[in-house]
Structure 1
């Protein structure tokens, strides 16, 4: 058991290490190279024996031969396959090579599933054989069938054959062989020279041969012919009856049932039959065309034609209108007339006229003349001229009644600013174009505008210097010979640009004090509405903005404080878009009156205290000096009520008194 496992293991390892060793102890191999060559060369002439050689270089071990499978490709399509155990080159022979053998060739080698393909080699074969043409009959009757066979000797592949009659190609046939056989018929009597050629298709190229030999075919005419007769044939007028007959001449008995006749005028088929066709009709001027009697028998076609001339009995009428332009509900006249008529056949009074549609509101006034009021909408009229059963219609006449222009309306576009140019629009609600608009000022013409397109407007540019001038403008509209309607006078608000800005302060400047209610009144001259803005000092952001319909308004500051002191001004703007600014006003907020009184009282009190202190100081100084009252031995201290005892020594004393002043 152990030996069996060891043998199995050795076998598996050996197969793993030698992948190209097959079961049964086959040799190992490798395909080193494969190439293809063309002998005797890449470019050969038609008829050359060409050999495609496939050479493979294979290395192998062991004595046993390898099974080789070769495949030859032409333009990607398999053309040859061979399996061999020989190591010799594979040969693929092309005896008597033809143009169809042109193409790219490759060789593929397959050994036990391992495949290698060579590079491609292109073979070019030039030269085609001259085609041969054969006909089964050299003399035929018109319409008789013959067989033509064109052969390309020795050629192979996909071939297109061409057949020619007197150098004109009449048939093309594509086949996969070297000959084409077709059926031909000839309807033209006479001698025909036939030949053929062919083209060999080698994708994506084609090769064209020379033309073949020429073969002559004689085509004899059949005795059968069609006959066309018309009565009368000349001096024909409109209204005359025409009898037309289409028959067959030399009809043989064996032809019955195979012959068909067709009678036509221009592209209109009038009638058909087998052996004869009869047709009767009233001649008209438009019948001055060619009539044809056509005979068909199998592929044989014969015709007989005749052309007649039909004289007009009267010309096609012409319908005109007068006046050339007409307005709604205005009188108009339609005239219908044939300019010429055959006086040798009819009289002028035999020619009658009528209008279509008959329910039109126009009344006949005389022969071909119709009058009445124009409708209020577009209308198509057609005139009918009639004589001896012949009716002719005029070209339709479309009457487009114009609409009288309505009274125009005048208005201002945008705003009318005094002293500046502005636009004035003059417009009518309805009216046919073109419309002439005229701008007037006190009935004097200023300007004119013509409106020709539906969306076009009559705009005028004007300038006024006084507000009252706006009512002097009017306009008129005109699109006919009638009097032009006049609009009302122009009514619009005239915007007067702002001017004379003022800033009034209440209370007056010297009296402004803390706690006061301040009014800054900004006023201007101009047209409201007006937007006012107030500014303080150099700040460009307004402290207050308002819009009003008055020429002045105010900005209020209640309970003034010292911080409200500063420079104030105002700006104003209206629809004239001009900004005006007042002169700046400097406001100084003074102390309140009660504060002033407190300060004055305090000052007075302070002065009084200072005076009292001063007086007391003076008195205190006086009380420090002795005073005598005139009585010996008595001194006063400045008051009458007080006295002190003097020294008793009076030996050296004098007597004086000082008046006391209090």
Structure 2
């Protein structure tokens, strides 16, 4: 008993100390599609390496490919296979191939693989000239660019019928082309040239064998010897030991013990031991392998372990008729072991494990009843004679119903929904086991359905018309037969942006009398209410006059009660709604004009000025006339004493009027002086007052006649005197 424990501890310590050991089991090279190919086919050389490891650690190795012992490709990798590809195999690729793996000072080569490629591609031929004279030379060039030199080129000269070869020349070239010169002889009217090629390396002769030399080979170590206790055939539940041993020369050798392709222990000494409390899992092919730097030897045995009892089997029975398990359903788990009598099985302790956690359910007997509350992976475990075995897992999926479904609109940038937008709605369930089927409705009309493994569904609705407004709601259900949930209702209003904003002004001609009222009317042809209206006047900068929101009509007005010159400018209005799109009307020029009553006052004032000016002119005109008559009378009175009877008609010109006739120069001088004074007075009046038409020429005539009568009467007065 104590010996078994010591051996077991020793074996476990040995395993722990050698957990990064490895060995190269084999290396193989294969050709795909085969080792015999036709010129131009694709060739893949696949090198496969089989490693055995103590644990699953990453091993980096170098894999090399050789053709006729010449390295053609190598790569460092952590993979166990590597492929070298020749896209178009040529005849020159014919040869012996092998691959080699090198890792941490250890090497192993595959067997040589012969690959043969047949059917050389026809070479290309060129001539230096197509027309020549008899006696000229023609250079013929032959190329085989797809093959590898050295090559043997054969040049053939034919007559026109290509039946008889007139001349042949052979060239061996270390390049993949060669040239030959041919002379055109007499009578060779039409010649044709052809060439062919052979590969020298593949076509060369083989020499006789040389004399032999003897080489004696010494083995660095013996083939490993393997021993198994208690035997190669036993029943699980007892201790098993495996021992490997070799004899060696003074050379470094590693011994590994493999179970199938897994290294279970290794050692650099001449012996290796492995101890294990055996179960059926320990049954298999065990290989002891001794490996030096270039040589490896191995021996194998097959260990068979019989079962003490088979693995338990876990089954589930659902009392519900629903094929899916609802939360709260009654379930029954049964753990059974075949080949055990019922009286024995009922006395055993079965452990039920959930989600590979702690053994929390213990039951004597085979059955365990429970209420479905959570999904999980269930197992059962049974131990007999220190042998513990676990059943395969049973996945129990419990479907909780969909609850508390909530629908909301995903709003971006505080933007309302307008035609052309994409409406995004989120339908989320607070609880429920996926998969869940979500459906979206507008009113009673079904729009979309989604089957998801998520607790939320996103719906995208293309908004094209105002009728897309309405009450949106989502519904959801899953595999729980009691699940059928409806969400809250979300009211969606599609906002039509404002269109065709027009401004009307009263008066319509844009001319407003000072003090009169200016009326501005802003109208929107289309747009969802409420609409916000703003009235502006532009005087260099834009000045806001009025701001109002209308909930019931698509138009509004604004009055300027007493318009003045300061209100002159370009008027316009701006309309917008919840679509956040503002539209301007056209500009309307408005200016103030003079009021009618002011025009009347100004006209009356001008008329009074004109009348006053006329009166003043007339007054001065008559006054000057009077003064001139008085001077004339004084002169005439002094000289007319002796000439009162010789009166003649005197024509006196005053303005446009001529009066009587003048008897002497003194009378003419008096009249002329009077006219000059009157003219001067008229010029003065013209500079100070507005010129008006003189309506009183007859008055002047009467005054002149009166003056003449007075002059005529003056002598009589003098005579009386």
- TM bucket by the smaller chain? 0.3 to 0.5
What TM-score results when the alignment is normalised by the length of structure 2? 0.41
Structure (1/2) with the larger helix percentage = 2
Q: Which has the higher contact order (CA 8 A, sep 6+)?
A: 2
